[in-house]
Structure 1
């Protein structure tokens, strides 16, 4: 079994699964539809074309650096300035970083890896206004989505890691497999990106946590707090 690993990081990200009208929200982690859309853009798949070979990919993501929610608002006026559009609120994740993993046929994964190096269409993290930091692809590796999200080194920025403890607990969200307990369902399983009849369905996911080692903690002088140490003789 093989997985393609992706580093999803940038100044701003926005992964909406239920945005409506004047309020454009973001999830706290990349959505499956957003990541499949990114891979489709890299391969040059147009919105009106079927996503056949990408629909069977298993997906998971680890929240390495959750970032902060940032709210922006926008308005627009007609060219003559007489009419104004409704005020819209848009939400983003600022200074976030995620490790994403997709599993599928090895030949397909290698093709996606090469496409990410030379994408046919521009790539963005959920919205066109959110370009990714490079590189995105971390390569194709043997193992499962669980293996990769558990064992891969922490991807948080150095400044973030220097403020953390030696061991950090990170959340993992991945596709639930048949027979597994489902934590929740999310409306982000893509069916079609065609603007005329965009379609998504519900996805069953499993949430869990993993402890990772922070190799910069000791270097920065960060130690686990032991209040009883002051009582030593």
Structure 2
């Protein structure tokens, strides 16, 4: 299997797994539905094309929280496009200054097409809502071989420079990974309704998906720049 990694960074993000009338919340990390929707848009898949959506929805999905950000609330006003009448005041939540690394595992040909689509998208990507554009290129790397968790353990830390400075002096940082449950892990997993079945405007449909939380240790930029010293090198030189 191959793994495609994405960097999801921007001033604001919003990843809602549920919406109740005028209250629109956000999860603490990107949802599978939101990320698959972004990839489908980049590839030019129309909202009602469930046949082309299905292979994307079947990809294995995980996300690493590199910079958790801050949850903020906004009161949203709008007017009807035809009548001009005021719409109900809504309450919307966002993540400010957050950075995530999302990973999708699947067949190389499909991931290669999605990687290329992100570099020349048919529809511009956004981070959960159209009002949330990414601040950096979304595509990171296409790994021809590997396991989703191994890739998320090895991918460089993507946090902002100001956030990394808060952790200077450390060689490692522990980060949370949210991934799909496997085997008998379902009993200890959380459940989200973010498995996309259809994005058609007249009948959007999502199934339940089980999610497991893991912790991984990532080398900081400081550790990656330190010279690798082996004290036994001196003995080798002396014996030579």
> TM bucket by the smaller chain?
0.7 to 0.9
Aligned to 2:139: 137
Are positions 1:147 and 2:147 aligned together?
A: no
CA RMSD of aligned residues (A): 2.0
Relative to structure 1, the CA distance from residue 215 to residue 74 in structure 2 (aligned partners, 3 Å threshold; closer, same or farther) is same
Q: Secondary structure at the residue paired with 2:134?
A: coil
Are positions 1:100 and 2:102 aligned together?
A: yes
Aligned to 1:33: 33
Find 2:165's aligned residue among 162, 166, 171. 162
The structural deviation recorded for 1:176 is 1.0
The structural deviation recorded for 1:171 is 0.5
Relative to structure 1, the CA distance from residue 65 to residue 196 in structure 2 (aligned partners, 3 Å threshold; closer, same or farther) is same
Residues in 2 aligned to 1:60 and 1:82: alpha-carbon distance in whole angstroms:
42
Q: TM-score, normalised by structure 2?
A: 0.85
Aligned to 1:228: none
Find 1:189's aligned residue among 153, 176, 195. 195
Relative to structure 1, the CA distance from residue 3 to residue 85 in structure 2 (aligned partners, 3 Å threshold; closer, same or farther) is same
Find 2:115's aligned residue among 113, 116, 132. 113
Find 1:204's aligned residue among 184, 188, 210. 210
- For structure 1, the residue ranges without an aligned partner over 5 or more in a row are 220-233
Aligned to 1:224: none
| Comparing 24-33 and 150-159, the one that deviates more | 150-159
Residues in 1 aligned to 2:173 and 2:181: alpha-carbon distance in whole angstroms:
24
Residues in 2 aligned to 1:72 and 1:171: alpha-carbon distance in whole angstroms:
27
Residues in 2 aligned to 1:214 and 1:125: alpha-carbon distance in whole angstroms:
25
Report the structure, 1 or 2, having the larger helix content: 2
8 Å Cα contact 1:59-1:175 kept in structure 2:
yes
Residues in 2 aligned to 1:101 and 1:82: alpha-carbon distance in whole angstroms:
43
Residues in 1 aligned to 2:224 and 2:103: alpha-carbon distance in whole angstroms:
29
Deviating above 6 A after TM superposition, structure 1's stretches of 4 or more consecutive aligned residues are none
Q: TM-score, normalised by structure 1?
A: 0.88
Aligned to 1:91: 93
The structural deviation recorded for 1:217 is 8.4
The structural deviation recorded for 1:212 is 1.7
| Comparing 83-92 and 51-60, the one that deviates more | 83-92
